[in-house]
């Protein structure tokens, strides 16, 4: 594999090999590799985000995480290229791939896919409205390949947060099935994916690779797991990729080493030192590594709800609740209780026209989990709050409980 020193050099190499091939497609723009490289040299505006001073310097992505406070994460050229190599090796990016960017390119999940696509000579197809317009997603899958001089065997891939995958399956599952032969792979990340949704997507796309990835803006792309492997293991995030190492601390937290790590937080040395030291990024994610060396995530300490001395992981309860018919979305929160201190309350967004059957939902959860994990309270709500990256906005509910 070619090892450029900067992204600019990477695109220069691709332009020398595929000068006339389409590199980027948007609603109103088409750029060949030669045109893209020319614009990058001149630092002209591009239909993909710069997020830094220049393509041969550091990049800065902004993340709020669970704190709600914006942090600028500095990602070096070295880290971008290491992430790129991880994705190419782990997910088999190729020159005959069209990668559909269907989310915010200020989020690592989408932004990171720019680089392996361009390094391998593939094509980026950018949906400006993301998954707000599902029809546009299928129009991208149905694009006339000959118009862009792409071969008949061209395949498609995308990154979607779990909430968008669920919406896609709910409203267009049968249509998605019709495009199964065109979809090479779909990656998800940023939030846990309900096991029921994983199983359903495997049924709809039996021959596609379906990846669950452990990554964050701070750690980079560390592990990935194709859960369409016949086992579809819930909570599994796969083996470490070539430029990454993952281990579990004595406190049970996931820690990452390797070339993909951030350089630090912008203008925040003290904050950086709390998570990045000894060439290791220490996360707040609980996890374990199984006998095969694959990483599993168990949630975060600040998400755990303590009820009468029992510690309950909301994600575990939410995963089971999401498999109940008529549940469109849900979140488990804590509410004050005179005796226990905390009581668990499941907020449920229902499919249109459905009524909440609290007893039936409680029985369903009780069939799969220990009795103490079954929510005590249930409320139907119009909407479950999520942030722009599709994660449940737990911070909102903590402030407004």
pLDDT digits (tens, 9 = 90+) for 197-229: 999 999 999 999 999 999 999 999 999 999 999
Q: Of 59 and 340, which is predicted with more confidence?
A: 59
Q: How many CB atoms lie within 10 A of CB 16?
A: 11
Provide the pLDDT for residue 65. 58
- How far apart (Å, rounded) are the C-alpha atoms in residues 157 and 141? 9
Provide the pLDDT for residue 208. 97
Closest by Cα among 165, 155, 158 to 198 = 165
DSSP assignment of 387-400 equals: -TTS-B-HHHHHHT
At 384, the pLDDT band (50, 70, 90 cuts) reads very high
Provide the pLDDT for residue 319. 87
- How far apart (Å, rounded) are the C-alpha atoms in residues 101 and 158? 6
pLDDT digits (tens, 9 = 90+) for 223-271: 999 999 999 998 899 999 999 999 999 999 999 999 999 999 999 999 9
pLDDT at 400 over 80: no
pLDDT digits (tens, 9 = 90+) for 40-95: 988 888 888 766 667 788 999 988 654 556 799 999 999 999 999 999 999 999 99
Vertex 311: Cα angle to 309 and 313 (nearest 5): 160
Q: What fold does the segment set 304-399 form as a domain? A: GMP Synthetase; Chain A, domain 3 (3.30.300)
Q: Which residues contact 39 (CB under 8 A, 6 or more apart)?
A: 31, 45, 46
Provide the pLDDT for residue 298. 83
Q: Of 159 and 300, which is predicted with more confidence?
A: 159
At 1, the pLDDT band (50, 70, 90 cuts) reads very low
At 361, the pLDDT band (50, 70, 90 cuts) reads very high
Provide the pLDDT for residue 52. 64
| Mean confidence (pLDDT) of the chain | 91
CATH superfamily of 7-299: ANL, N-terminal domain (3.40.50.12780)
Global pTM reads: 0.87
Provide the pLDDT for residue 3. 61
Query: In the chain, pLDDT over 90 holds for what percent of residues?
Result: 67
- Tell me whether strands 305-307 and 264-265 are parallel, antiparallel or unpaired: unpaired
Q: Which residues contact 389 (CB under 8 A, 6 or more apart)?
A: 103, 104, 107, 109, 161, 190, 191
Structure token pair of residue 339? 């005796």
Average pLDDT on 155-179 reads 91
**Residue ranges covered by each domain of the chain:** 7-299, 304-399
pLDDT at 133 over 80: yes
pLDDT at 169 over 70: yes
pLDDT at 303 over 90: no
**Residue 251: exposure state from Cβ atoms within 10 A (0-12, 13-18, ≥19):** exposed
Let me know: does 375 contact 362? Beta carbons within 8 Å.
Answer: yes
């Amino acid at each position: 594999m070619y090892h450029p020193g900067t992204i600019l050099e990477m695109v220069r190499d691709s332009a020398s090999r595929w000068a006339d091939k389409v590199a980027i497609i948007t609603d109103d723009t088409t750029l060949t590799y030669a045109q893209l490289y020319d614009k990058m040299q001149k630092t002209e505006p591009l239909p993909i985000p710069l997020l830094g001073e220049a393509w041969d310097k550091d990049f800065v992505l902004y993340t709020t995480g669970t704190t709600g406070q914006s942090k600028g994460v500095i990602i070096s050229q070295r880290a971008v290229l290491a992430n790129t190599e991880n994705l190419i090796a782990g997910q088999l990016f190729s020159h005959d791939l069209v990668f559909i960017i269907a989310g915010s390119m200020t989020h690592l999940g989408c932004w990171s896919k720019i680089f392996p696509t361009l390094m391998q000579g593939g094509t980026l197809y950018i949906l400006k409205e993301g998954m707000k317009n599902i029809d546009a997603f299928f129009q991208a899958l149905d694009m006339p390949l000959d118009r862009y001089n792409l071969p008949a065997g061209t395949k498609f891939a995308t990154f979607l947060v779990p909430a968008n995958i669920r919406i896609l399956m709910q409203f267009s599952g049968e249509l998605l099935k019709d495009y199964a032969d065109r979809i090479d792979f779909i990656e998800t990340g940023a939030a846990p994916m309900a096991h029921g949704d994983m199983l359903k997507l495997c049924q709809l796309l039996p021959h596609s690779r379906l990846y669950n990835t452990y990554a964050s803006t701070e750690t980079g792309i560390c592990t990935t797991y194709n859960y369409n492997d016949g086992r579809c293991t819930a909570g599994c995030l796969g083996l470490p990729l070539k430029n990454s190492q993952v281990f579990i601390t004595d406190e049970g937290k996931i820690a990452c080493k390797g070339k993909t790590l951030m350089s630090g937080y912008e203008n925040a040395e003290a904050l950086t030192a709390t998570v990045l030291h000894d060439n290791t990024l220490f996360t707040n994610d609980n996890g374990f590594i199984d006998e095969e060396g694959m990483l599993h995530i168990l949630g975060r300490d600040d998400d755990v709800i303590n009820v009468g001395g029992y510690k309950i992981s909301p994600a575990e309860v939410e995963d089971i609740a999401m498999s109940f018919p008529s549940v469109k979305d849900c979140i488990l929160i804590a509410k004050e209780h005179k005796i226990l201190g905390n009581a668990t309350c499941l907020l449920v967004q229902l499919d249109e026209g459905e009524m909440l059957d609290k007893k039936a939902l409680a029985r369903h959860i009780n069939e799969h989990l220990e009795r103490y994990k079954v929510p005590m309270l249930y409320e139907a709500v119009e909407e479950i709050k999520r942030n722009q990256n599709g994660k449940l906005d737990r911070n909102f509910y903590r402030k407004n409980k």
